[in-house]
Structure 1
C-alpha cells in the first residue's frame, strides 16, 4: 500500500490508517510505503515503524518507491540475498523536552493594549439570519491573487519569453473567472447567507467571556498569548471584568450555500478535475469574500468603519 501526503494533516491520517490496518490484522500481509512533502524519513521509519506491526518504509520520490517495490517483491519470492534497506536511525536520540518553569512575572496577565477606547454601541443583541445576498454585493471583495495563485495555480513561465503572471491573469484567469461567475449566477448555484450577532462580553486573563443579556456567562473562548514582545492576546482588546464595564463582540458565520458544493461534487464524480478545482476554488474564495464583505458591514453598524 502506498500513501502520499502533501499536507501536515496527511501525516495524522497516515498514522490512523496504519493503526486501522493493525486493528484489522492486516499489517503482516501489507507492506506500506509512505512519501510526500509532509513527511520525513525519520518520522516514517522511527515513529510510524514503532506503531505499525508490518513493514513500513519511506520513499523520497517515485524512483525510491520503485526500488522499494523491487526489494519487497524479491523478499516475498524468497530470492537469495534479497533484503529491505536498513531503517534510518536518528542522529540524536529522541527525548522529552524539559521546559523551564515560567517565572511568575515573565508574562503579564494583560498586555499594554489601551483600555480607554470608547465601547461601540451594538445595533441589537443576539443573532440575526440574512439570506439571499446578491453576488454583486460581495463579488468586489474577491481576492483574485488568492484565487489565481492559491486555488487555480497560475504561475509565471520559467522559460525566457514565456508569459508572466500578469499575462496569465489577463489571458486565462479573468476570462475563466467571468465565465464561472456567469455560470454561478445563471444556474442559480449561490445561496449566500449570514448568521451574525452582537453579544455583551468582558475579558478574564486570556479568556473572552460571552455574556447573556442578564450578565451571566454564556460561554468563553480561550486565546493564546504571545511569549515575547508585547505579550498580546485577543482577549486584551476587550474590557477586563475588573473594570466593571461590559464590552461588545460581533460574531458571524457565512455560507454560499449547498448548491455550489453539489455542482463541484458532480464535476468530481465525472472526473472533470480541472473544472472541479476551478469551481471549488472559486466557491472557497467567494465564501471568504462574503465574510470580508459582512465584516465591513459589521464595522459600519458598530460605527468603527473608519
Structure 2
C-alpha cells in the first residue's frame, strides 16, 4: 500500500540481474495466453482518472487493521496472551483510545482522506506493462518489471493480456493520502509534550492511509464487477482474501519507485497535493499509490 514506509508489506530492494535479463518473449507469451484462458476482461464504468475528495473516517474504520495499529504502530505486545486474549484485551483497553483519537481527528479535521483512481486499457509486452489511451493503441505509460529467475517464473506483466492479443486488458491505478495536516498536528502535539497522543496520532495516520487504500481498492473491485467475491471476514479481507491484487512500487515484484512518476502524472495527483520527492518518495508522507490487477491469480510474490 507507496509513500515512506506506509506500506508495511514493502521489502525494498533491487531485482537480481538474472530477473531483469533477456526475456524469451515466445515462452512468456505462451504463459500469458495460458493465464488469460477463462478470464474475461472486466468493463470499467469510465476511463481515465476520477477524484474522491471526501470519505468519512467512520467509513474508513471498516477497513482499519486494528491488529497492525495496536501491535506495529502503537507498540503494544501480546505479552504471553493468545491472539484471542489480546483481541479481547485490546477491545477494552485500546479501542477507547482509538475512538478518542478518531473523535478529535474528525472534529478538528486532522485526517483528510482523499484519493484519485481510474482505469486504463493495458497489455503486456515481455516483462513490460503498457498502459494505453482510450483508443487502445496510443501508449500512455510503460512499466518495466522484473521476473522470477526460474523456469516459468512469475512477473506482474503476465496477469495482463499480451500486446499481440486483439483484446486490450484493463488496469486500475490509485493514489491515496491522509494529507499534510496530520503530520503538522502530530508535530504540534510533540512540541506540546503530548508524546503519547503524538504516537497515537502518527500510528493512526499510517494505518488510516492503508485503510483508505483498501477502501479505494474495494471500490475498484465493485466497479469492475467482482466485489461479490470479497471475503466477508474482515481479518481475511485485510489479508488479501479477494480477487486480484494491488502492487505498490517498492515491492520486490515492482521495485522501481521512480515509476510512480508516470502513475502520478496519469492520475493528475497534484490536485490532491501529492508529489514526488528527490528520493522518489511520496509527499505527504502518509500517502500510498498502487497498480491494481483483476486477474484471480495475481497475488504477492517475491523476485
Please name the residue that 1:126 is paired with: 48
* Matched position secondary structure for 1:114: helix
Q: Say which of 79, 89, 103 aligns to 1:182.
A: 103
Please name the residue that 1:154 is paired with: 76
Please name the residue that 1:284 is paired with: 206
Q: Deviations over 1:108-145 (max 9, x none)?
A: 43546511310000111111111121112221100011
Q: Say whether residues 1:211 and 2:109 are aligned partners.
A: no
The Cα of 1:237 is off from its aligned counterpart by 0.7
The Cα of 1:299 is off from its aligned counterpart by 0.6
Please name the residue that 1:252 is paired with: 174
The answer as to whether partners of 1:152 and 1:278 remain within 8 angstroms in 2 is yes
Counting only pairs closer than 5 Å after superposition, residues 25-174 of structure 1 correspond to structure 2 as 108-110=27-29, 111=31, 114-116=35-37, 117-157=39-79, 165-166=86-87, 168-174=89-95
Q: Deviations over 1:230-265 (max 9, x none)?
A: 411111111100112211111010112222222112
The Cα of 1:104 is off from its aligned counterpart by 8.2
Cα distance 1:300–1:268, how it changes in 2: closer, same or farther (>3 A)?
same
* Matched position secondary structure for 1:119: coil
* Matched position secondary structure for 2:124: strand
Counting only pairs closer than 5 Å after superposition, residues 217-228 of structure 1 correspond to structure 2 as 217-228=139-150
The Cα of 1:172 is off from its aligned counterpart by 2.6
Moved over 4 A (4+): 102-105
The Cα of 1:296 is off from its aligned counterpart by 0.6
* Matched position secondary structure for 1:248: strand
Separation of aligned partners in 1, 2:93 and 2:185: 22
How many residues matched? 206
TM-score normalised by structure 2 residue count: 0.61
- Structure 2, gaps ≥5 residues long: 6-16, 230-303
* Matched position secondary structure for 2:164: helix
Cα distance 1:240–1:130, how it changes in 2: closer, same or farther (>3 A)?
same
The answer as to whether partners of 2:23 and 2:127 remain within 8 angstroms in 1 is no
Q: Which has the higher contact order (CA 8 A, sep 6+)?
A: 2
* Matched position secondary structure for 1:226: coil
In our comparison, the structure showing a higher alpha carbon Rg is 1
TM-score normalised by structure 1 residue count: 0.61
Computed over aligned residues only, the root mean square deviation of the Cα atoms, in angstroms, reads 3.0
